[in-house]
Structure formats: C-alpha cells, structure tokens
Amino acid sequence: MAELPTKAWVARLILLLIVILCLGCAGQDVDGGLRLGIATDIGGLDPLASNSSHSAVTLVFDTLIRKDGNAYRPALATAWQADAGQLVWTFTLRSAVTFSDGTVLDAHSVKFSLDRYCWLRQGKGGLADVIAKTEVLGPTTVRITLNRPYAPLLDDLCRHSLSVISPDCVEPPHNIQGVWARVIGSGPFVLMSNKPRQHAEFSRNDVYWGEKARTAKLLLRIIPDEESRALALEGGQIDMIYANWDGHGATLTYRRAQSLAQKGYNVITGDSSINKLLVFNTVTGPLRHDAVRSYLYEVVRGKTSELVTGLLAPGEGKIATGLFAAGIDWPEGSLPAPRRVAKPEQMPTKLRFLVCSSEPHDLAVAQLIQAYLAEENISLFIQQADRASFWEFVDKKEYDLTLLATMGVPYDPWGMLTWGFAGESAAIYYTPELARQIELLQHTTQQQRAEVQTNINKLLSASYAFVPLYQEINFAVVRPEVIPFTLLPGQAVLLPWEKMGIKE
C-alpha cells in the first residue's frame, strides 16, 4: 500500500502551486534572460536614496573606481593622482562613454554627481564635508580639491552612493537640487521596467564601456519569503538566488542551499568580507555599565565556537577573530584579551534581544544566546521586527542586545568605523576619544596611520560593546541551466555579470 503524503509535504506542494500562480500573474519571463529571486523592491535606484537596492544600483550605474579586496582598479576613471599634500586629486576619465539615453558621460557628469552628493550629504560628516570644490579641466579630466587630507577618499569613490549619474536623472535636469525623476546610467544594464512588489526588468547595455553582460535580459523577481524563493527555483520560476544580494545575507540560508544541492541545483561559493556581531546597548539600560558588558562578553565569547558549530552548516563560515572580517585592511587587536570576570552585583536578570525577522540566522543566534544566558540565571526576551521597524528600534536604542553586521568590501573599514563608532549617534559605541581617533585616522598620513589604528583598537577592545561571532561565506544557488561562474572575491554587492547567463 502506498504511503500517504505527510502534512508538511502537502503544505509544501500547496505553497509551490501558490508561488507558481502568483509569479505567473506577476509578469512574463524574459526570453533567453536570467531570472533572480530577491527579497525586497529595488526602490527608485537613486544612489543617494536609502530605499534604493545597492546591488541593483550597480546594474545601471558605474563608479569612478572599483575595489577588489584591498586593490583599487579603474572603472569610469582610468587614472588618478594626488599632489604631495593629498589635497588636490586629478582623475582622468574614459573617453567615448555614453549614458543609456545616448548622451556622453564626461567631466561635467562627474562634477554634477559629486556636487549633488555634497549638497545632499553636507553636514553629515565624511566626504561631503571634505570636498572644497570639483572642477572640470577638460572633457575627460576632473579635479577634486579637499579642504584637508582625507584617507577614505578612494574607498568612498568606490561606493554605490558615489555612482556617476546623468544630469538628466533629476527634474529639472542639471539641477543638483532637482527631484529624482528617471534612471539614466552607464552601467552594464538598462532599466526597462520596475513594478513594486512584482519584478524589475533590465536589458543589456550593448554600448557598455567594459566587458558586456553575458545575458541579454535580466529579471529580478520580488519574493519576500525565503521558502517561497526556494520553491520558485525548484518550480522553474527563477534561475538563481544570490544569498548576499544587497549585502544583507538574508536571501537564502546555506542549509537550504545544501538541501537544493541534493536535488541537483548548483551551489557556487566565494569568500565574504562581512562579520556578524552581537552588539550591546551601551547608551541606555543596564548594559551601559562596563562591568555588565564585560561579563556578558566573556560568557558569549566563551561559547562562540559552540554557537558557530551549532548554527552554521559545515563549510558555511568560521569564527570571527576581530571586528572586521579577513580580507579587510585592518590590523588585529580589536578584541579584549581573555580574562575571568566576576559576576557584577548590578547584573540584570532580564534583558531584551532585538532581532530582524528577515535575517534567517538571527533568531537562531538569539535562541542559542538565550540558552547560554539562562545558565547564568539571566532571562532573555527575544523581540522580532521587520527590517524597517528593526532599524527604528536600533536608532532609538530600544534594545539591550541585537545583531548587526559589518559592511564588507568596498565599505569597510571606513564605513563601519564612521557609522558604528564615530559620532554621538553611533550605532554601536561612542566616546569622544574614540571619535577623535577615527577623525584623526581619516585625515592622517600613511606614515602615521598604523599608530592611530593601534590606538583605535585599544579603545575598541576596552569597550566590550560587541562580540564578533562569525564570518559567513558568500554563495549563490543556480539551476543546472545556468552557466558556471565564479563570485568576485570579498564582494557582497557586485556580481560578475559578464560571466553569467543561461546555457544555449
């Protein structure tokens, strides 16, 4: 007698049918194109808008330079040089580069993009407050003058937010205060349509200055639920799931990827440059006391190996050894030295753990830490929040413990240092001296940098503000029909589109 299907199997079959029907209603497939399943809308693709997908922005726009690991390489700029004081930087642009509307990308386009960036970000710290002026010296030559040396300049110019846009992207055109109106870039793809909560369709830019995308068309399908994305892959509705789309690490778990591999799908792995961190609220609540944080740090750090083994599948990641992942240009020394700490008298018996519900591992991490702290007679209340609410709670410091991640290439180390530690609104930890040292590091010479980095590491190690947990791998799961490719080393945002396509 045949065995009756289990309830779980029936539920999975019903969900698969729903996914197929919903995606079928969402729009036609792209003929001969590549289809990716992603979790959230791509936004308006304004590089300076917080709701724009980082990864999608890189499809349609380019930056002046790029960063692979710790090496800079040309993009829209073929060469750059600075004067002896590193205040005046001259960039030589590629000639004959055009935007998707056929207009020429020249030095005026670069000046417009930088002027708009500075106008929107003025007073918020960073490059916008350091650029004194941007000048056009010729059709393919731009000069950036700084009001003081700024070590992160090249790193900043690699970020998607510093993409070069057409002056016609805004309305009225060529007005840096204009409203974002249209997507006109020079990237490997051209945006054809963008339907929120459904899909976004792109066509290959056949006049792209670099190596052209292999696939003629690209479809990004919005599938918020992780299991539904996996079912869409199995049902032939998408061709690929990239785990770290937008650098969130929220698109697919490695365990599910392994399950798909057993069914004949290919798993492509690469190095990641992102660390997951347990973060303590050092501003409000009981964890503002150093003694409480140092005790919790020792409890969790002592269990990190057990946590990683219990949480991650074999080969999925490794224990983090510092604030920054391996591959980020930062010296070791950001962790406190191991020590035995007595349980302080003011140790609370109840704590709040805030987790983002769209991050697959975060709830499991919180539950493991909940068990560890229960052994210390500390009760941990786990509060889940969607991504938008999560960041509101983080900004308001409405938690005792939470999980954050470093930013990876090309954003770290500068991105995490300035966002996490360099202001009174710092996301992780702030002291005036730490902020001063980070500010000094931004404006110091190469010869002085090592000493300042050492000072910063000493302050970080004394803060007990965070516990590095693990460094995950980067991976994608693809259907057998997808041409094999290699992920870019250390990258979480860029993908090798010139290698990616469907087998003929």
CATH number reported for the structural domain that contains residue 211 in this entry? 3.40.190.10
Note if the pTM is more than 0.75: yes
**383 beta partners:** 354
Residues 258 and 290 in one domain: no
Contact 108, 167 (CB under 8 A): yes
* Separation of alpha carbons 15 and 11, rounded Å: 6
Q: Which of 162, 179, 196 is the last residue of a domain?
A: 179
Residues 332 and 357 in one domain: yes
Residues 459 and 479 in one domain: no
* Separation of alpha carbons 117 and 108, rounded Å: 14
Residue 412 lies in a domain: yes
pLDDT tens across 445-455, in order? Answer: 777 889 999 99
* Separation of alpha carbons 442 and 180, rounded Å: 31
Residues 221 and 281 in one domain: no
Residues 401 and 461 in one domain: yes
Q: Which of 135, 162, 179 is the last residue of a domain?
A: 179
Average pLDDT over residues 434-451: 88
Kindly tell me if the per-residue pLDDT of 193 is higher than 80.
yes
Domain that holds residue 386: 275-472
Residues 283 and 343 in one domain: yes
Q: Nearest 5°: phi and psi at 365?
A: -60, -50
pLDDT band of residue 18 (cuts 50, 70, 90) is very low
Residue 221 lies in a domain: yes
Residue 399's pLDDT is what?
96
pLDDT tens across 159-187, in order? Answer: 999 999 999 999 999 999 999 999 999 99
3-state SS, residue 153: helix
Q: Which token pair is 318?
A: 């490794």
Residues 282 and 421 in one domain: yes
Residue 429 lies in a domain: yes
Residues 397 and 285 in one domain: yes
pLDDT tens across 20-73, in order? Answer: 445 454 445 556 699 999 988 999 999 999 889 989 999 999 999 998 877 899
Residues 211 and 287 in one domain: no
pLDDT band of residue 5 (cuts 50, 70, 90) is low
- What DSSP letter does each residue of 392-461 carry, written as one string? HHHHTT--SEEEEE---BTTTTHHHHHHHHSSTT-SS---HHHHHHHHHHHTS-HHHHHHHHHHHHHHHH
Residue 2 lies in a domain: no
Total Cβ atoms within 10 A of residue 440: 16
Q: Which of 145, 162, 179 is the last residue of a domain?
A: 179
Burial 325-352 (b: 16+ CB within 10 A, else e): bebbebeeebbbeeeebeebeebeeebb
Quickly tell me which residue has 């970020």 as its tokens.
159
Alpha-carbon distances, residue 471 vs 127, 363, 413, 491 (angstroms): 29, 17, 15, 13
Residue 20's pLDDT is what?
46
* Separation of alpha carbons 477 and 240, rounded Å: 6
Relative to beta strand 217-222, strand 34-38 is parallel
Average pLDDT over residues 230-250: 86
Residue 11 lies in a domain: no
Q: Which residue has the higher pLDDT, 359 or 136?
A: 136
Total Cβ atoms within 10 A of residue 281: 23
Identity of residue 301: R
Q: How many domains does the chain have?
A: 3
Residue 432 lies in a domain: yes
Residues 201 and 321 in one domain: no
Residue 26's pLDDT is what?
45
pLDDT tens across 329-358, in order? Answer: 899 989 987 777 789 988 999 999 999 987
What is the largest distance, in Å, between two alpha-carbon atoms of the chain? 84
Residue 312's pLDDT is what?
85
Residue 21 lies in a domain: no
Residues 455 and 483 in one domain: no
Residue % of the chain over a pLDDT of 70? 93
Residue 222 lies in a domain: yes
Average pLDDT over residues 449-469: 94
Residues 406 and 327 in one domain: yes
CATH number reported for the structural domain that contains residue 453 in this entry? 3.10.105.10
